[in-house]
């Protein structure tokens, strides 16, 4: 940890001197201390102090490049110094109304009291900015060494105070790869229903962090095991379908987790990772199966149209979790299209089919490549290799047609103004119909050129009228 503190010294030491000269203590606390002990790079600095917010704001003036007070109600003043983002929070001693989503904030008067109100022991360690003395009243360093998540007090008390901490337990398990202590799991299971008082936005934010963590499977399995998933993402435990007596279909829940892991392995194809959209689409791609499962007379199982049903379920869930329209559209599109590749058999793709695949995927095409490849979890090596080769061929076809026809900007040979000029029409419904006719031609036959497109448009118009 010493090396990381040395790296932080240019920003921490001058700040510590300002607080010390005013008679206040200042400690690096929480995640930065934990990460420094784990040998991880610390980027944002969280500190706690005996100074009240107004005093903190005064001490930052003239030192920080910018200061903000959006967290003042919770005792937090934020600032930027060069490349660093710093948040300084007054010692807190919160009390909670069991029916409320928000705490009543009372300022405390001791570091120990402040650390005792934190979520987990590994986040309840502090380092004095003045002399680098280490404070660990709840033995967080031992839990860090053993890779265990525990609460400073009883987990029941902690989760009663802030039920979102149950989601954070799953998130930290996913981020750190830690085991969650049995008593914490028991409390999460017994108190899972308490998550209902937490706002959808806060649940969403924790879920995003969990899904984007290095080990999302750990966190997701914990949510399912404790029953929390039944409240925040009920579509996930619903995938654990009862197996039919002949075991003629896969364990959809296990399949889904494998698809997620395989999608993560393919994220290098994207410009940046982790990628929430492709990960969440992997998690939701089969959520339509429970509603569409049918047993046939011969004992086989079908899930007809589970792609379309799953897209609707995904859209409804993401809306409930207050995701943006763009995020919802992207994930739902991937869920709806995840079977499209399999609808063309063993690679009998016409140019028209390739164009439509690209058109329908739009800006999600690369993610669709990842999801489709990840969705192959068969243990039959010959089948898996055949599917891989077939998809390789499809991607090659897309690349060739893209070079020839600029598929990324797929549009008819005539635009709306040209259509109106050719048909002597003003703006209206008929222009839209003509545009769609030309787009279908473009998809079926490729670029025609303006002259041929005009001839075909006039013939279509004549037949129509």
DSSP string, 199-236: -HHHHHHHHHHHHTSS-HHHHHHHHHHHT-HHHH-TTT
pLDDT at 102: 60
Q: How far apart are CA 91 and CA 48, in angstroms?
A: 6
CATH architecture of the domain formed by 237-409: Orthogonal Bundle (1.10)
Provide the pLDDT confidence category of residue 401 given band limits of 50, 70 and 90: confident
Provide the pLDDT confidence category of residue 242 given band limits of 50, 70 and 90: low
Q: Which residues lie closer than 8 Å to 103 by C-beta, 6 or more apart?
A: 94, 95, 96, 161, 162
Provide the pLDDT confidence category of residue 303 given band limits of 50, 70 and 90: confident
Give the angle subtended at the CA of 174 by the CAs of 173 and 177, to the nearest 5°.
Answer: 65
pLDDT at 237: 95
DSSP 241: P
Q: Which residues lie closer than 8 Å to 335 by C-beta, 6 or more apart?
A: 281, 284, 285, 287, 288, 307, 310, 311, 314
pLDDT at 268: 95
DSSP-assigned letters across all residues of 20-57: HHTT--EEEESHHHHHHHTTPPP-EEEEEESS-HHHHH
DSSP 372: H
Q: What is the mean pLDDT of residues 194-198?
A: 96
pLDDT at 195: 97
Provide the pLDDT confidence category of residue 245 given band limits of 50, 70 and 90: very low
Q: Give the least confident one: 3-7, 66-70, 271-275.
A: 3-7
Phi and psi torsions of 78, nearest 5°: -110, 160
| Contact status, residue 239 vs residue 252, Cβ threshold 8 Å | yes
Task: Count CB atoms within 10 A of the CB of residue 360.
Answer: 14
Tens digit of pLDDT for each residue in 117-137?
Answer: 999 999 999 999 999 999 999
301 pLDDT above the threshold of 70 = yes
> ω before 361 within 30° of 0 (cis)?
no
pLDDT at 244: 46
How many angstroms separate the most distant Cα atoms in the chain?
89
Q: What is the mean pLDDT of residues 437-456?
A: 88
Tens digit of pLDDT for each residue in 315-369?
Answer: 999 999 999 999 999 999 999 999 998 866 665 788 888 888 988 998 999 999 9
147 pLDDT above the threshold of 50 = yes
249 pLDDT above the threshold of 70 = no
Provide the pLDDT confidence category of residue 254 given band limits of 50, 70 and 90: very high
Q: What is the mean pLDDT of residues 42-61?
A: 94
CATH 3.40.640.10 fits 1-143, yes or no: no
pLDDT at 321: 98
CB neighbour class for 322 (10 Å; exposed up to 12, middle 13-18, buried from 19):
middle
pLDDT at 66: 96
Residue appearing with tokens 């364990």: 251
CB neighbour class for 391 (10 Å; exposed up to 12, middle 13-18, buried from 19):
middle
Q: How far apart are CA 274 and CA 215, in angstroms?
A: 11
pLDDT at 448: 86
CB neighbour class for 250 (10 Å; exposed up to 12, middle 13-18, buried from 19):
middle
Rg over CA atoms, the chain: 28
Please measure the distance between the N-terminal and C-terminal CA atoms of the chain and give it in whole angstroms: 80
Q: Give the least confident one: 103-107, 110-114, 123-127, 313-317.
A: 103-107
Provide the pLDDT confidence category of residue 243 given band limits of 50, 70 and 90: low
Mean model confidence pLDDT for the chain: 90
pLDDT at 354: 87
404 pLDDT above the threshold of 80 = no
| C-alpha distance from residue 329 to each of 305, 314, 323, 326, 337 (Å) | 19, 10, 10, 5, 12
pLDDT at 246: 46
pLDDT at 447: 84
DSSP-assigned letters across all residues of 180-209: EPHHHHHHHHHTGGGGGGS-HHHHHHHHHH
Q: How far apart are CA 75 and CA 88, in angstroms?
A: 8
The token pair that represents 306 in the structure block: 């589970």
**Domain ranges within the chain, ordered by starting residue:** 1-143, 147-233, 237-409, 416-464
Tens digit of pLDDT for each residue in 369-399?
Answer: 999 999 998 888 898 898 898 899 889 888 8
Q: Which residues lie closer than 8 Å to 434 by C-beta, 6 or more apart?
A: 419, 423, 425, 457, 460, 461
**Better-predicted residue by pLDDT, 93 or 276:** 276
pLDDT at 92: 85
* Fold category of 147-233 in CATH: Hydrophobic Seed Protein (1.10.110)
**Better-predicted residue by pLDDT, 342 or 151:** 151
Q: Which residues lie closer than 8 Å to 121 by C-beta, 6 or more apart?
A: 138, 139, 140, 143, 149, 150, 151, 152
């Amino acid at each position: 940890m010493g090396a990381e503190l040395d790296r932080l010294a240019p920003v921490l030491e001058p700040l510590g001197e300002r607080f010390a000269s005013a008679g206040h203590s200042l400690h690096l606390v929480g995640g930065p201390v934990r990460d420094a002990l784990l040998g991880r790079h610390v980027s944002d600095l969280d500190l706690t102090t005996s100074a009240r917010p107004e005093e903190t704001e005064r001490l930052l003036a003239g030192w920080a490049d910018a200061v903000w007070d959006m967290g003042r109600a919770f005792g937090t003043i934020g600032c930027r110094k060069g490349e660093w983002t710093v948040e300084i929070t007054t010692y807190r001693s919160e009390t909670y109304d069991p029916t409320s989503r928000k705490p009543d904030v009372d300022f405390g008067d001791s570091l120990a009291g402040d650390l005792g109100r934190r979520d987990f022991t590994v986040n309840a360690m502090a380092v004095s900015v003045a002399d680098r003395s280490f404070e660990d009243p709840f033995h967080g360093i031992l839990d860090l060494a053993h890779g265990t998540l525990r609460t400073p007090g009883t987990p029941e008390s902690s989760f009663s105070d802030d039920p979102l901490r149950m989601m954070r337990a799953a998130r930290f398990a996913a981020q750190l790869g830690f085991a969650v202590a049995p008593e914490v799991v028991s409390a999460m299971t017994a108190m899972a229903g308490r998550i209902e008082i937490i706002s959808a936005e806060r649940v969403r934010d924790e879920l995003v962090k969990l899904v984007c963590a290095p080990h999302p499977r750990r966190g997701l399995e914990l949510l399912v095991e404790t029953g929390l998933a039944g409240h925040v993402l009920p579509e996930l435990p619903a995938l654990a379908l009862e197996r039919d007596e002949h075991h003629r279909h896969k364990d959809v829940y296990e399949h889904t987790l494998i698809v997620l892991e395989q999608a993560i392995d393919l994220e290098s194809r994207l410009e940046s990772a982790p990628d929430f959209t492709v990960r969440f689409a992997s998690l939701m791609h089969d959520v339509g199966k429970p509603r569409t499962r049918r047993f046939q007379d011969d004992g086989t199982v079908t899930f007809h149209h589970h792609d379309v049903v799953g897209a609707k379920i995904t859209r409804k869930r993401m809306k409930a979790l207050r995701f943006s329209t763009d995020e919802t559209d992207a994930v739902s599109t991937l869920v709806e299209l995840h079977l499209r590749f399999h609808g063309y058999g063993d690679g009998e793709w016409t140019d028209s089919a390739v164009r439509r695949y690209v058109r329908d995927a739009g800006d999600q095409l690369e993610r669709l490549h990842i999801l489709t490849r990840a969705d192959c979890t068969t243990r039959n090596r010959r089948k898996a290799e055949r599917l891989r080769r077939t998809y390789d061929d499809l991607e090659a076809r897309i690349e060739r047609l893209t070079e020839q026809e600029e598929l990324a900007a797929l549009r008819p040979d005539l635009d709306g103004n040209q259509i109106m000029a050719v048909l002597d029409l003003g703006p209206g419904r008929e222009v839209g119909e003509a545009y769609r006719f030309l787009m279908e031609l473009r998809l079926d036959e490729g670029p025609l050129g303006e002259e041929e497109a005009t001839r075909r448009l006039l013939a279509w118009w004549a037949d129509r009228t």
